[in-house]
Amino acid sequence: MDALQYDVSLKPYNTLAIDVKAKYFVSAQSLIQIQQALAFAQAQGIPFFLLGGGSNLVLTQDIPYLVLHIATKGIQVLSEDQQHVTLEVQAGENWHAFVQWSLAQGWSGLENLSLIPGTVGAAPVQNIGAYGVEVKDYLDSLTALDTQTGEVLDFSNAKCQFSYRESYFKQHLGRYLILSVRFRLNKQAKLHLEYGPIRQQLAEEGIAEPTPQQVAAVVCTIRQSKLPNPAELANTGSFFKNPLVSTAQVQRLKQAYPDLISYNLSNEQAKLAAGWLIEKAGWKGYRQGDAGVHAKQALVLVNYGNASGKDILQLAQKIQQTIRDKFQVSLEIEPNRL
């Protein structure tokens, strides 16, 4: 197989810049190459690991089997009417580049998800979201390869079983390889401006009636002010999920911490800002060797150079313990760990 490589460093393929090696590596640019790589793994009797943009991943050791990097490209318009357009996007497309391209065509919906690192194929696995919008809100359906049976299957939005940072594919991690994703976008903007930082930034820029492109630009400004560029300082973005708690617990916490940041989801449930909890506990800007907590956004763990995946996870576990002790709240790590 021409695409097969040996003993490849994965440092360029994960945004935490963890330097581990893959014994076998294939960067697949077509379904045929994907199938050939899986056939190789089966013939060798070895496991395989799927790798997209590597932006939601903590690698803790060398991988003594096959790493399959999805690098397929292409965007196709499937249908459109006066209100909507449906697109099929190949899994290896860069997520942010796709969002910017769709906006340039005059199609909106994904502007709040600008500047999220990773690939289109990885986006549904995590059900990525930001500023009140999640991938599930605009995902029509997708096509995935069942790596156990070899079948190519279509999944409707409902079959994906999306919830907060969850999906059917995350629950069955590694079994289904997402090949392409279909999105249904708006031709007439329906903007999501509920989150305070977006409204505040628009006001600062004197924009009263924003376009989707202006919302995207504002989102990029906000993210760049808080989140380091992985090309400049290695990170995976938000390292912890915003915890879901009861509204009763929120009220108890607010008695001790009136400035607590929370968002009510229902009469019974609320979401806490994990970054606020971590900063309040004193971790913002902390550094332990080359593993650290970002100085501007406590939700982000960073690699200053030569931190290992284990170094990053050890720091994360210390933070989790502090939050449990101080607030009686459990923080869940968002990136996948290998």
Q: Could you read off the pLDDT tens digit of each residue along the chain, which spans 338 residues? A: 788 999 999 999 999 999 999 999 999 999 999 999 999 999 999 999 998 888 889 999 999 999 999 999 999 999 999 999 999 999 999 999 999 999 999 999 999 999 998 899 999 999 999 999 999 999 999 999 999 999 999 999 999 999 988 999 999 988 999 999 999 999 999 999 988 889 999 999 999 999 999 999 999 999 888 888 898 999 998 999 999 999 999 999 999 999 999 999 999 999 999 999 999 999 999 999 999 999 989 999 999 999 999 999 999 999 999 999 999 999 999 998 88
How many other CB atoms are there within 10 angstroms of residue 200's CB atom?
Answer: 12
Joined together, the tokens standing for residue 60 give 């803790």
Residue with tokens 């279509």: 154
Instruction: Please tell me the pTM assigned to this model.
Output: 0.83
Q: How much is the pLDDT for 40?
A: 96
Model confidence pLDDT, tens digit, residues 137-168: 999 999 999 999 999 999 999 999 999 889 99
Is 165 one of the catalytic residues?
Answer: yes
Q: How much is the pLDDT for 111?
A: 98
Helix (H) or strand (E) holding 124: helix 123-126
Is 334 one of the catalytic residues?
Answer: yes
Question: Amino acid identity of 47?
Answer: P
Q: How much is the pLDDT for 237?
A: 87
How many Å apart are CA 286 and CA 308, to the nearest integer? Answer: 17
CA distances from 72 to 25, 31, 335 (A): 15, 8, 23
Which phi and psi (to 5°) does residue 107 adopt? -110, 130
All domains in the chain, ordered by first residue: 4-70 (3.30.43.10), 75-186 (3.30.465.10), 234-337 (3.90.78.10)
Joined together, the tokens standing for residue 116 give 């999220």
Q: Which of 102, 141, 167, 238 is catalytic?
A: 238
How many residues does this entry show for the chain? 338
Instruction: Of 13, 6, 7, give the one whose Cα is nearest residue 52.
Output: 13
Q: Which of 165, 182, 184, 223 is catalytic?
A: 165
**DSSP, res 296:** S
Q: Which residues pair with 179 in a beta bridge?
A: none
How many Å apart are CA 44 and CA 73, to the nearest integer? Answer: 28
Instruction: Of 274, 323, 329, 330, give the one whose Cα is nearest residue 298.
Output: 274
How many Å apart are CA 208 and CA 205, to the nearest integer? Answer: 9
Q: How much is the pLDDT for 117?
A: 86
Q: Which residues pair with 269 in a beta bridge?
A: 246
Write the DSSP assignment of 206-226 as a string of letters.
T-SS--HHHHHHHHHHHHHHH
Q: How much is the pLDDT for 2?
A: 82
Residue with tokens 């332990």: 288
**DSSP, res 85:** E
Model confidence pLDDT, tens digit, residues 198-234: 999 999 999 999 999 999 999 999 988 888 889 899 9
Q: Which residues pair with 237 in a beta bridge?
A: none
CA distances from 198 to 36, 220, 299 (A): 46, 10, 19
Instruction: Of 275, 240, 239, 249, give the one whose Cα is nearest residue 327.
Output: 249
- The arrangement of strands across the sheet holding 176-186 comes to 75-80, 84-90, 176-186, 139-146, 152-156
Residue with tokens 């806490």: 272
How many Å apart are CA 297 and CA 303, to the nearest integer? Answer: 14
Q: How much is the pLDDT for 83?
A: 97
What is the biggest distance separating any 2 CA atoms in the chain, rounded to whole angstroms?
A: 63
